[in-house]
Every structure is written in structure tokens, then in C-alpha cells.
Chains A and B, each alone.
Chain A
Amino acid sequence: MINLRLKIDPLPIDEPLIVRLQGPGLPARSHHDAVLAEVGPDRREYDLNGFSFGVYAGSDEVIDGDVLMMMPGETTAHRLIRAGSAHNTLLVTEQCDQLCVMCSQPPKKYHADLFEQFTVAASLAPHGAMIGVSGGEPLLHKERLFCMLEEVKARRPDVGFHILTNAQHFSRADLTRLQQLDHARVLWGVPLYSATPENHDRIVGKPGAFAKLEHGLSILMRAGASLELRTVVMQQNWQDLPALADYVSTRLSFLTVWAIMQLERIGYARMNWKETFRDTSRNFDQIARAVDIVTARGLKALLYNFPLCSVPPAYQDYAPSTISDWKRKYLDFCLNCRAKKTCGGFFQWYSHPEGFASLGPL
């Protein structure tokens, strides 16, 4: 498993500090760059503007170019951006106004605001990086979020964002700012679980959410934004999928991609697993219909988080590897599978006895 925190010998700081770890022989390019001074077997020594600090990492671990956030008094640093990974996500808030039955990151009451630090971190990312923004609900701090996007765009137009939001908080007043973002570099990931308003509202635990979502989506459309529509497949919306595909093709044909997603067994999804998980390895019909409908309509559907062997052959091309590197694992039988290279495998917290019944090497 990839570590998202690194043990450090900390600096005496009284506010959060963002540093980028430079590789061997590379000079500092900004005052956030720490120059590599010494490499030991399990510890590397860096120099940051004349102060030295240590980072514990095995000799085989690549941390060059990584952006760390150190918190006052903490002996581990957050690895905010791993330079070698395409799966970097900033958790900008843990507050949320929905309570989804399958939430993998259940909300918390209080918000620790680190937008300033995240803005610096994103500006230090490798060239062309696509950085995830997640929560909680990022748009609860809309002004802070927009400022971060605008500032990073001004400093680093090559850096993009993939923002997960429930789209409940867009208003007409946001149109101009949304229009000015670079649509090729900002992708909004928005969940929609059913075209039947009551079913969607029940799943997200918020009456009226569907109506607000429709409003938010129409604003994204008007702004010319790029949309990744996200639908987690569950027992609760299994029967709704073909009608949802129909809804998507009449209402949301501007989308970049419709992601049909398997469940991530963590948070509430773990708690509600038995009533929520739908074993799509045994019966794939409704997903097949949804994919058929939107594909014929010229829209792009993709299956996220589906092990390839759970997907019928005709639909395997729709299932790219999507589980983030640090969350991913493979099972015993994957060893003999010829598709392992293209398959995203399983979430670390997937439990096979309670999971897919009908899997095996391809």
C-alpha cells in the first residue's frame, strides 16, 4: 500500500507549511523547494531556506518532486501531491449537506480551512498535473474554492482540477466565473443516482436535492463546463438505470463522460453494504442497457471501479482501470489473469466473501 503520510523530523513551525522535495542535484526553484542534502538508507535530509529537516522513506521509495504539507507539532507530513502519481486528491473540507447511503468519506461538523496551503501545493505540482478536489462538499466553501481555481489558473495554466461536487450550490451569479475557467482543464464530477426525484433524494439523504441538482447542472451546461456525471450502482437504484440513461441522453448530452460506478466498501458503504451492494458479476443487465442507450445516443459511458472479470466481454472496453493506485489491491486469482495490466483490481477495503460471487481470471 502506498503511504499518503511520511514520517518526518519536523521543523519548528507555528502554521502549516508546504514544501516540495527536490530530487538529487536539483536546486530550489521557489522558496517552497527543499533541496536534497543527504540520502540515508531510510531517511533523507533536506534543506529549506537554511533550515534542515528529515523525511523517512525507504531507498526504493520515490518522493522526488512530491509536495508535502507539514502541520505544527506533527511528526508526519501529508503527501499532498505525489509527483509520480495521477491520483492526487485534495480533501478541501469534510463538511457536507448530503448524507448519501454509500458515502465513502462521511461528513464531519467542523471545517479546517487549508485552501491557502492547497493553492500553493497545486502551484508546485508537476507539469500538466490533474489534481482531484474532494470533500465533504467543496462548494460549501465556494468563494474559497473559486479563488483557489482562479489563482492556480493564473500561476499554472497547465494544472487541471477534477472537482467532486453535489452541484447543490451553483447559482446564476456564478456563471461568469465558471465560464472563465479553462473547460479543458477543469472537470466537475457530479453524482446523480436516479431520474426519479424521490429515489435520488432518498439516496443522498436530502429532500429537494434532485431539484437543486437539476438547477446546478443547467448552470454548468450554460457555463460550457466539462461534466463527469457519476452514478454509483446500488440495490437502491438498480431498476432505475435504463430510465436514468434516457434522462441523461435528453437532459445532459453536454456531458464529457457518464461514469457508472461500483461501490467502495468504506464509510457508510461498509455500514450499509448488505442493503446497498449490487453484485453485478451475476447480473449485469441494467448496466448493459444503460451503456447501450447512451452509447447509441452518442454519449460516452465508462464503468469505474469494476474488476474486468465482473464485466461481460462486450462491455469490458468500457471499464478502464480507475481505482487510485494507493487504494488498489488484487486478489489471489488475479495472479493468473492475463488482464491484470489493464484491470483496476479492487479497493483495499473490498471484502471478497461479501463481494462479487462470480469472478475469476480472464
Chain B
Amino acid sequence: MPVVPLKFRPHQDGHFLFADDAGGYFKSDQAFLRRYAHDRLTSGDLEFLKGNGHAYDAVGDLAYSGFEHRFAERLYLPREMDYVILVPTLRCNLACGYCQVSRVNEATRGFDWDDTTVEAVIGFLDSLSARKIKVEFQGGEPLLRLDVITRIRDFCRQRFDACEIVVCTNLQEVSDAAWHVLGGDGIFVSTSLDGNRITHEKQRTITPGKTDQFFSNLDLAVSRLGSEKVSALPTIDPHNAPSPQEVIETFLNYDIRSIYLRPINYQGFARKKFDARGSAELWNKYHASFIDALVEHNWSSEIPVEEYYFVHCLRRVLRSGHNGHVDLRNPNIVGHSYVVIDYDGKIYPTDEARMVTRVGQFDLSMGDVFSGISAETINRLNAEALNNFHPDCVHCPYQAFCGVDLVDDISRYGRIDMPKHMTDFCQRHTSIFDRIFAMIYSDDPKIKKTLALWAGTPHFDPLLAKVHR
């Protein structure tokens, strides 16, 4: 009976975690590993492997086809473009320490869309074949260009069958007119809330007056728009992080139950000051303590809370086809289903590609709204954006769940051929997947409860944590 290739990694309890290319997994011991490696599998081994989807009788039988289907579903296939990130201005009314390259001062001239650019962007949107569109306004501070937001909104409403508009705002200065726009149908607010008041003030608002202003606007946003239309991202400096409990409490105050923790993303020269390995380790430690705190919280609270990205990774472990997040895909084909349009009308495949270009590392732009998309450079990058055959990934049991981020590699190391285990991306994701499997194979009822909540099921069944002996 043919057995599909199995990859393995020591598990924390001294046994091994095995997984195949379609993401099927189980835990077993050294003795099984030896039998597998020496081609001495017993009939009991084969029966288990077949039951768990790792073996088949003949090419084309249902076990084989089922494997193929799960494998294929794990590959991300770009759809038609239906998501556009717009940067109508780089001007901002805050000067956050971690935001060095994506902003200019509020009064600076020359970093805004002019009328010609606005019309060219509208022409670009009009050329899309999608019937539904998601538009995300970033900046700078996009509320400084409320005129552009309303113009694009009006256009999209009449042009597309459905449109969703996300305004990524610092909620610092919100005029009555801006509140009116934000309260509209299909408009969502995404803001930054750096964990707790002290950290938010230190990293973003600097003065107590401005801090008060932000928190009162956040209150208003939640009460006027409803918490389901407001999301908030905490940017965390692992060297100086608020306690997980404080972060959870702060977010629950605003009835926000999904927290997407983000490490400070130093760009350009600042990034080089921080050793990637060291900062990934510190981040992983903080992130792990945050998961611990969430498990504790969920055990005793009526209101469950999740860490958005960890839950995304958990679901990618459990399921095929969970390719909805742009940060974790394989192959990570960029520049097809969504693009970023910068303040000068240039088009980029991702926001980070925009930064990489801005600090002068590489030109990752792909044309502009005036003359159209030219994707030659990006397509050359895309040809490498696959982990299935990468020599460092082929032996990793997490390969099927994981992705690649070549733009991040370029940004950090100036190249895409760093040994994967030395990259920040690999280190962070290995840590997350280690943690996920530690949880899946835990007997702790507290952990099982949180796992069920995050997997979206009433209970977390033991058959999802198979051990073969």
C-alpha cells in the first residue's frame, strides 16, 4: 500500500509530530519513525495511515482523490481583483515612533492625490471585472481627505453590485462630516489601539490631551457605529509590552473580541538596528504569554476572546481552503487579487512592497494608475513565492499550513534566498505552529475549551488529536 511522504518534527513530549503535503497530521513515537524510515511498516501502521488519509490502495481511488483534493485546496489561487488599498495622502496628524516611512507632516505639500490622480484611480476601479469590491483607505491619515473618500464611495456604490469600505484612521480628529461618512452603510472603521492607555500614549499620542481625544473618539465610534463595525489593532513593542491581561481588558471595554496582535514593524534603516532572530524570539515569547492569558480568560469568562492571527493559523492547520488572509498564503501570488495605490498613483502588490520601494531597497512598484499595471518584476517574484519545493520547507511538517512572504524577506535581508529557518517569517510561524500542536495534544480542559471556541465547534474532539502507537 503506497504511503504519501511524511514529514516530522520532535514534539515537546519527546514523541514526533508527522504531517503530509495535504496537511494531514498525527503524533507517534521514535519506533514508528524507525519503521517508516526503514520501510518496515506493520499492517497496523498501514491501517492507521490509510484511515488517517496518508495511504491508498491505487492511484485514483477515493483515498487518493481525497488526498489530492485536500492538497489542491491548500494552494492559493488568486481570484479576480476585488480588493484595493488606497493611500490618498501620506499626511498625518500624529507622528508615531514606529511609523517612519509611511507618513509626512500634516502641512507638507506634494503628498496628496490631485484631481487627475483621483480621476485616474476611478478609471482604474472602473476597469475591474469584479462585481463586488472592497476598498480600504490607508495613509497617512485618510480622514484628512474626506473629499476623496466620499468621491470614491459614491463611485463604487453606483459601479459595483456591492461595496465594502474600510477607513483605517487614527481616530484623532473626527469632524461631524467625517462621523457622518463613517456611519454610512457598508463603511467600517479600523484603528490602532496599542494595548492600553499608557502604551498608546507613549507610542502614538504623546500628550494626555491627545490621548483623551483618541479614547473619547473610540468610545463614540463604538457607540455610534456599533462594535461590529469597529476593529482595532494593537502594535506591540516586545521590548516594552503591556501585560496581556491589560490588553484583553482594554479591548473588552470596547466590546472588541478579536485582537490582532502585531509586532512593531520597523522599516528601512530602523529594521537593521534590530537583529531579526533576537526580536522574533522576544516576540514569540510575548505572543505565547498572550495565548496563555486568553486561555485563562476564556475559561472563566462568558465573553470569549481570540487572537486573530493565531486562530487563522489554527484553522489552517485543521482545514484545507482557508486562504482568506493575505499574510499567510501558499503560493503567495501577489499583485493579482488586490493592489495598493499610493499617494502618487503608483501601484504596489502589497503595503510592505510600497515601504520597500520607498526606502530605496528595491523598486517593487507595478506601474501606476495613469499608464496601467506592469507586473514583470512582481511576476518574477511570484514565480518563487511557493514553499512546496523549497529545500528548507520540504522537510517541515508545517509546510502545508504555512506560506511564504518574499517581500518581507527582501525588506529584512535584501534578498529572497536566506535559509528559511533564519528568517523572521519562519521563526514566528514555527513558534505559532509549535504552540498550536502543543494545544491540540494537550489534555488541559482549559486549553480544550479555548481550542473549541477558536476552531468554531461546540467541543474539540479527541479524533482531531490522533496518536499512533
A-to-B contact residues, CB < 8 Å: 214-215, 217-218, 221-222, 242-243, 245-247, 250-254, 288-289, 291-293, 295-298, 314-315
Contact = CB atoms under 8 A, between A and B. Distances in A.
B438 to A, nearest CB: 17
B69 interface: yes
A214 B60 CA distance: 11
12 contacts: A214-B62, A221-B65, A221-B66, A245-B463, A246-B51, A246-B463, A247-B51, A253-B69, A295-B455, A296-B461, A297-B319, A298-B322
Given A222-B65, A251-B62, A288 B459 contact: yes
Contact of A253 (B315, B320, B461, B464): B320
B183 interface: no
A295 B456 contact: yes
A298 B51 CA distance: 19
B63 interface: yes
A296 B318 contact: yes
Nearest to A315: B458
A295 B319 CA distance: 9
A293 B318 contact: no
B458 A253 contact: no
Interface string B430-463: 0000000000000000000000100111111101
Contact of A296 (B70, B320, B456): B456
Chain A binding surface SS class: helix
Contact of A292 (B69, B321, B461): B461
A218 B62 contact: yes
Contacts of A298: 315, 318-322
A215 B62 contact: yes
B464 to A, nearest CB: 6
B142 interface: no
Contact of B461 (A222, A293, A315): A293
A306 to B, nearest CB: 15
B458 A314 contact: yes
Given A250-B24, A296-B455, A298-B315, 14 more contacts: A214-B61, A215-B61, A218-B60, A218-B62, A218-B65, A247-B51, A250-B53, A251-B63, A251-B66, A253-B69, A292-B459, A295-B456, A298-B320, A298-B321
Contacts of A250: 24, 51-53, 63, 66-67, 70
A254 B319 contact: no
Interface residues of B, number: 30
Contacts of A222: 65
4 A-B pairs closest in CB distance: A298-B319, A250-B53, A251-B66, A314-B458
Given A296-B318, A298-B318, A298-B320, A253 B460 contact: no
B173 interface: no
B62 A217 contact: yes
Nearest to B466: A246
B84 to A, nearest CB: 27
Contacts of B351: none
B61 A291 contact: no
Contacts of A246: 51-52, 463
Contacts of A253: 66, 69-70, 73, 320
Contacts of B318: 296-298
A242 B463 contact: yes
B321 A296 contact: no
Most B Cβ at <10 Å: residue of A222, A291, A293: A293
Interface of B: 24, 51-53, 60-63, 65-67, 69-70, 73, 315, 318-322, 452, 455-461, 463-464
Given A250-B24, A251-B53, A292 B457 contact: yes
A243 B50 CA distance: 13
B53 A289 contact: no
A291 B66 contact: no
B460 A292 contact: yes
Given A221-B69, A246-B51, A250-B66, A291 B320 contact: no
B450 to A, nearest CB: 13
A243 B61 CA distance: 19
Given A242-B463, A246-B463, A253-B73, A292 B458 contact: yes
Contacts of A296: 318-319, 455-457, 460-461, 464
A272 to B, nearest CB: 29
B65 A293 contact: no
A245 B61 CA distance: 19
A257 to B, nearest CB: 15
Contacts of B63: 250-251
B463 A252 contact: no
Contacts of B70: 250, 253
Contacts of A221: 62, 65-66, 69
Contacts of B461: 242, 289, 292-293, 296
Nearest to A222: B65
Contacts of A289: 459, 461, 463
A302 B379 CA distance: 42
A146 B320 CA distance: 32
A293 B457 CA distance: 8
Contacts of B458: 288, 291-292, 314-315
A31 B197 CA distance: 76
Contacts of B65: 218, 221-222, 251
Contacts of B52: 246, 250
Most B Cβ at <10 Å: residue of A221, A250, A297: A250
Nearest to B50: A250
A221 B69 CA distance: 8
Nearest to B54: A250
A28 B62 CA distance: 50
Nearest to A314: B458
A294 to B, nearest CB: 9
B462 to A, nearest CB: 9
Contacts of B24: 250
Nearest to A216: B62
Contacts of B321: 298
A213 to B, nearest CB: 9
B51 to A, nearest CB: 7
A292 B451 CA distance: 12
B66 A293 contact: no
A250 B318 CA distance: 11
Contacts of B460: 292, 296
A298 B323 CA distance: 12
Nearest to A295: B457
A191 to B, nearest CB: 15
Nearest to B66: A251
Contacts of A315: 458
Given A253-B69, A254-B69, A293 B464 contact: yes
Nearest to B451: A296
Given A250-B53, A251-B63, A291 B457 contact: yes
A288 B458 CA distance: 8
A252 B73 CA distance: 12
A288 B463 CA distance: 13
B85 to A, nearest CB: 28
Nearest to B322: A298
Contacts of B455: 295-296
